[in-house]
Structure 1
C-alpha cells in the first residue's frame, strides 16, 4: 500500500492512542468539550432556524436538508472548481426553498477566484443566492435583522484558491480586520485556531479577531468547514476557561495548562452569557471522504 493510501485509509485513532500520544492535551480536550456543550441561555427573541452546510464537493444532499429560515454554505461547493461543477451546484442551491441563502467559496472553488467567476457569482443574487467574498450583507427574518459577513480565505496549504500566507505563528493578523465589529453571523471557510479544527489546524489570526469582536459583542453564530474531521458544534464562551484551552492547543499541551483549565471551570470559568455558537458544517468526511453527513441545524 502506498503512503498516500495509508493516509486515505487510515483508521481513526483509539481513545488509548489519543491519550498515549499527548495525555495532557487529551484530558484538556475532554474538559473543554464538556464546557463547550453547555446549552446557550434562552433567547429572548423568536428563534431563527439556520441550516449550516460546508464542503459538499459536488454532493447533492437535497434529501437531507430540512426547512429553515437561513441556509448557509461555507465553501468548497465543488471538488475541482470548474465552471461546469459550479453550474451544477448553483442549480441545486437555486432549487432549495429557503428564503435566505448565503454562500461563500472555498479553496477548491478556483473558478470563483477569477474575475469572470466573481462576476458570475455576483449575478446569483438575481436567483436568490447571496455570494459573499470579504463582504457583509444584511437580511431580515421576521422582526429580526442580521448582519452576515462572509469570507472564503484560509491560511495557505497546497495550491488552492483564496489562500493567504502563513507568517510565523500569526497567520497574517491584518487579514481579518475586514470583519465588521457589528457582525451577527460570521461565515468563513476555515475555522479559528483550537475550535473544531482537530486541535490546532485553524487560523490563529481569525481567533484573535474574534476575541477583539468579543469586547463589543461577538457574533451569535460562526459557520465554517474546511477541516472535515473537525465537524461538530461548540459554544465559545469567551471566558478564562476558553482562553486557557486555546493556550493548551497553542503550546501543544502541558499539565500546568490542563490543571489551570480545570480550575477555571470550577471557579467561574463557565459563568458567561456572552457566547458564539461555532459550527463546523463539513458534509463529507471520513476515509477518502466517503461519508456524507447531514446539515447542522442551529436556532439563534
Structure 2
C-alpha cells in the first residue's frame, strides 16, 4: 500500500512558541514534514530565536523546514549587515539552523518532492526581507522549474492576501511564476487575516498564519498529504 507524506504547515507565530507549549488549545498534529513560513520572532531578538529553537527541537518530525519573514530582522544580512558581525546573534542563528532545513532563496528535496523557499515579500513598512515591485519578476524567476512546493513569507496576488481598507496586497509576479512552473502548493503567511486555502489552475495556495490580525493565536495548522514517491530524487 502506498504511503502518504503528511505536511504540517504554520506561519507567523511571532515569538509565541516556546518549549512544551504552543499557546493554549493549539497542538500540532502528527506528520512527517513541519514547514514554518516565517515570522517566528517579533523582531529577531536573541531570546525569541533561542525560545523558538528549543521549541523546534521538541517537535517529532522527520523533516523541519524553516524560512524567515519580515519580522525576523536579525537574519536579513542584506538590509542589516551589522547582525552578521554580532557573535551572540550568529551563535543563536547557527544553532537554530542546525535544527532544521533553512531555506534562503534555495531548495531542498524531501521524500522526492522539491521544496523552494524564500523569506522575501513585497515592501511593507520598512521591515526586513523587502522586495520592491520593480524587482519582483526577476527575483521570482529564481524559483526552479520542477518545484513541487513553494514556501514564501508573503502571498501571491489574490490568495490569502486581502487586507481591509487595502484590498489584495499579494505579489502578481510571484503568482505568475508559480503558475508557470505548475507547483502543487504555495505555502505562506504574512497576512494574518488571510488564513486558509484557496485554489487556482489546480494549484493550492495556503495562508498558514496561526495568528489573527489582533496577534492572537486562533488558527489551526494547515495539513495536507502527498503520495510517497518510489525513490528519493538526486
The 1:124–1:289 alpha-carbon spacing in structure 2 relative to 1, beyond 3 Å, is closer
Could you tell me how far apart the structure 1 residues matched to 2:42 and 2:218 are?
14
**Rg comparison, structure with higher value:** 1
| Equivalent residue number for residue 209 of structure 2 | 282
Confirm whether residue 126 of structure 1 aligns to residue 126 of structure 2. no
Contact kept? 1:55, 1:283, Cα under 8 Å: yes
What per-residue deviation string (whole Å, max 9, x for no partner) do you get for residues 19-68 of structure 1? xxxxxxxxxxxxxxxxxxxxxxxxx9532111010000011227511110
Seen in structure 2, the aligned counterparts of structure 1 residues 119 and 163 have a Cα distance that, compared at 3 Å, is farther
Match of 1:203 among 164, 171, 186: 171
Q: Work out the CA distance in 2 between the residues paired with 1:165 and 1:96.
A: 35
Deviation, 1:290, is: 2.4
Question: Cα distance, 1:124 vs. partner?
Answer: 3.9
Alignment length, in residue pairs? 207
Bigger share in helix: 1
The equivalent of 2:81 in structure 1 is: none
> What is the alpha-carbon distance in structure 1 between the residues aligned to residue 179 and residue 215 of structure 2?
32
Structure 2: segments with no counterpart, 5+ residues: 78-83, 227-234
How many angstroms apart in 2 are the aligned matches of 1:277 and 1:187?
Answer: 12
1:296 aligned to 2:214?
no
Aligned pairs for 1:119-198 within 5 A: 121=93, 124-127=96-99, 129-140=100-111, 145-167=112-134, 172-198=136-162
Alignment equivalent of 1:113, drawn from 68, 76, 87: 76
Normalised to the residue count of structure 2, the TM-score between the two structures is 0.82
Match of 1:32 in 2: none
Q: SS where residue 48 of structure 1 aligns?
A: strand
Unaligned 5+ segments in structure 1 are: 1-43, 239-274
Give the secondary structure class of the aligned counterpart of 1:206.
helix
Instruction: Please state whether the residue corresponding to 2:168 is helix, strand or coil.
Output: coil
- Cα RMSD for the two superposed structures: 2.1
Q: Is residue 95 of structure 1 aligned with residue 58 of structure 2?
A: yes
Query: Which of the two has greater strand per residue?
Result: 2
In the superposition, the TM-score normalised over structure 1's length comes to 0.64
Rounded Cα–Cα distance in structure 1 between residues aligned with 2:186 and 2:49: 24
SS in 1 for 2:30: coil
